[in-house]
Amino acid sequence: MPAGYQTVIRPGEAPLEPTLIAPPTLTHRLQYRTNGSRRWVQLIGQVDLVNRVYVNGEQQTLNYWGEFVYEAPAVRGGRAQVTVVSPLDEQADYEISLF
């Protein structure tokens, strides 16, 4: 693998084509739901598969496509601190309003 490139290798699959290592970024959306009298919000995010994601200090599990779901009560003023860390330990911090 050339310097400055990355790939993902999954058991039983061919490695993905190498791509340039990009700075850690996050795309996200919010989805609200109600459970009885309580309102919940889901922070649904996506990052590059090689990155690690922490929400309020807790590492998130990524699915096959680099997506994660964080759920919290939907309260006025609710926020989530999201940190995305690349394999090179570059870090991007996001503060996301959950309400």
As for how many domains the chain has, the answer is 1
Contacts of 64 (CB under 8 A, 6+ apart): none
Q: What is the pLDDT of residue 56?
A: 97
Joined together, the tokens standing for residue 63 give 């699915």
Residues forming beta bridges with residue 42, ordered by sequence position: 31, 71
Residue 82, in any domain of the structure: yes
Q: What is the mean pLDDT of residues 2-14?
A: 81
Do residues 26 and 45 touch, judged by C-beta distance below 8 A?
Answer: yes
Q: What is the pLDDT of residue 10?
A: 80
CA angle 59, 90, 99 (to 5 degrees): 50
CATH number at residue 61: 2.60.40
Residue 6, in any domain of the structure: no
Q: What is the mean pLDDT of residues 2-31?
A: 84
Of 94, 5, 10, nearest to 45 by C-alpha is: 94
3-state secondary structure of 17: coil
Residue 28, in any domain of the structure: no
Domain range holding 63? 34-99
